[in-house]
Amino acid sequence: MYSESISYGICTICIYYCLSILRLLQVNDGFPFSIALSWKPDAQNNDTQQTVVFPKGNVIPSSKALTFYRASTFAVDVVNVDANDAQVEPKISTYTVGPFQSSNGEKAKVKVKVRLNIHGIISIESATMLEEEEVEVPVSATNEAQKEATKMDTDDTPNDPASGTDVNMQESKGATDTAEGAENGAPTSEEKSVPMDTDVKAEPSKKKVKKTNVPVSELVYGALGAADLNKAVEKEYEMALQDRVMEETKEKKNAVEAYVYDMRNKLYDKYNDFVTPEDKEGLIANLQEVEDWLYEDGEDETKGVYIAKFEELKKIGDPIEARFKEWEIRDSAVSQLVYCINSFREAALSNDQKFEHIDLSEKQKVINECSEAEAWLGEKKQQQDALPKHANPVLLAADLKKKAEALDRFCKPIMTKPKPAPKPQTPPPTETQAPEPQTPEQQQSNGENSAGEPTGDQAAEEPAAEQMETDKPEGAADATS
């Protein structure tokens, strides 16, 4: 099989390289055996008939259709024609087509589709029963076209839009005859019969093919039955589950072994100051005991036993690891809180113009909050510095982070308060001087001057208000003067 694949690939490559001088070729796979179908002509005759459906070298995939005339269920065998060895069964499979029943009681025409798929497996994909039925069909479109052509020859108005159907044509023609009779003074004939489309003639019955799917059952020789196949599938699932449990068990065992080696090395290195000497010796002894158990009695234990051992060791080692991690990240958390306190305090005490709009009382609240946070940090830090490294810490990085977040939530809205928008400036009101009282002589002289020569404004407005010359405002005299 390996050499065959190599040969196939080499031939394909050679063909592609020769495309420049040869015409384009198509590569097809051929089936190496001759496959035939055999069946019995009827129930009374035991003689079998056989025909080769897929000869040797037939292209795959391929499909063939065979037609049988049967009155009831029948069987078709798939046979290997080239099976000359006595140890090889020539029959590959048997397909039972049916049940089915013809509507007229005679032998039915059954069309069977045989398929050779790309994997070289032969199967009957489907079976269809074909029956011919007589159906009465109304007047065809050709007869209607002939009627329209005949009526168009006798009609006086061939372009009449009412000539789409036979009924409309007859009615329009009758109306024309009536109108002509009225003009000539002749009486209209009421006895004329108008042909209607209700007299539809039926053509001779036509045959229609009715297709009915027929069930097909398969029996493959040498294959597992349905029950055995289901048992094999269930067994496969069980084996897959066992493999998964074994993998998980192996992972838990490796986790216990890795924890023993890692913790023992760290106890002598970076965890040395974070555990008391007594606890250190006890934990090392426990780790050695677990290591010995892994290579002796615990070599082949269940997954649950390894999980229990792992949790037992972590119950002792986790507090030591937690003290080391707190010590490692405490300085950075303290620096972050100190930076937050100093930043808000400097902003509250600053005389910068961007903080001038904030009330002094609000700034004092920020200063007080920063002082409280600083006092809490100093107290906790003093307590923590007095403890040894192997003691449980009182100043945790999580508490420092919460304190910094609380201070930020309180101070940030105050110190980032936006400046109020400036009020729009209104121009100061202009003072108008009251007119001085005039004597009757001055009023009379001003009236004469204004009546004789109108001012520039009045001259511009004169066309629009000629009828209102007498209605002048009182201030006109002052403008003229």
DSSP string, 26-62: ---EE-SS-EEEEE-SSSS----EEEEEE-TT-EESE
User: Has residue 448 been placed in a domain?
Assistant: no
Residues 259 and 129 in one domain: no
Q: What is the pTM of this model?
A: 0.49
Task: Of 198, 182, 218, give the one whose Cα is nearest residue 77.
Answer: 218
For residues 204-224, average pLDDT: 84
397 — phi, psi (to 5°)?
A: -65, -35
The 3-state DSSP composition of the chain as helix, strand, coil percent (nearest 5) reads 50, 15, 35
For residues 74-88, average pLDDT: 80
Residues 116 and 260 in one domain: no
Q: Do residues 341 and 370 touch, judged by C-beta distance below 8 A?
A: yes
Q: Is the dihedral of CA 122, 125, 129, 135 positive or negative?
A: negative
For residues 115-125, average pLDDT: 92
DSSP code, position 128: E
**Where does 188-305 show beta strands of DSSP type E?**
206-214, 216-220
pLDDT digits (tens, 9 = 90+) for 401-458: 999 999 999 999 999 988 887 777 676 666 555 555 566 565 555 555 544 444 444 4
- Say how many Å lie between the first and final Cα of the chain, rounded: 128
User: Has residue 148 been placed in a domain?
Assistant: no
User: Has residue 144 been placed in a domain?
Assistant: no
Q: Which residue has the higher pLDDT, 314 or 11?
A: 314
Most confident of 22-26, 108-112, 139-143, 466-470: 108-112
CATH number at residue 116: 2.60.34.10
Residues 383 and 235 in one domain: yes
Does residue 459 surpass a pLDDT of 50?
no
For residues 342-371, average pLDDT: 91
CATH number at residue 328: 1.20.1270.10
Residues 127 and 240 in one domain: no
DSSP code, position 20: G
How many structural domains compose the chain?
2
Residues 119 and 241 in one domain: no
- Domain end (from 174, 200, 220): 220
Residues 278 and 394 in one domain: yes
Torsion of CA 323, 328, 333, 339, to 10 degrees: 150
pLDDT digits (tens, 9 = 90+) for 291-329: 999 998 888 899 999 999 999 999 999 999 999 999 999
User: Has residue 74 been placed in a domain?
Assistant: yes
Residues 261 and 374 in one domain: yes
- Domain end (from 369, 388, 420): 420
Residue 446, SS3 per DSSP: helix
* Domain limits for position 253: 225-420
User: Has residue 123 been placed in a domain?
Assistant: yes
CA distance 181 to 196: 23
Does residue 126 surpass a pLDDT of 80?
yes
Does residue 137 surpass a pLDDT of 90?
no
- Domain end (from 199, 220, 241): 220
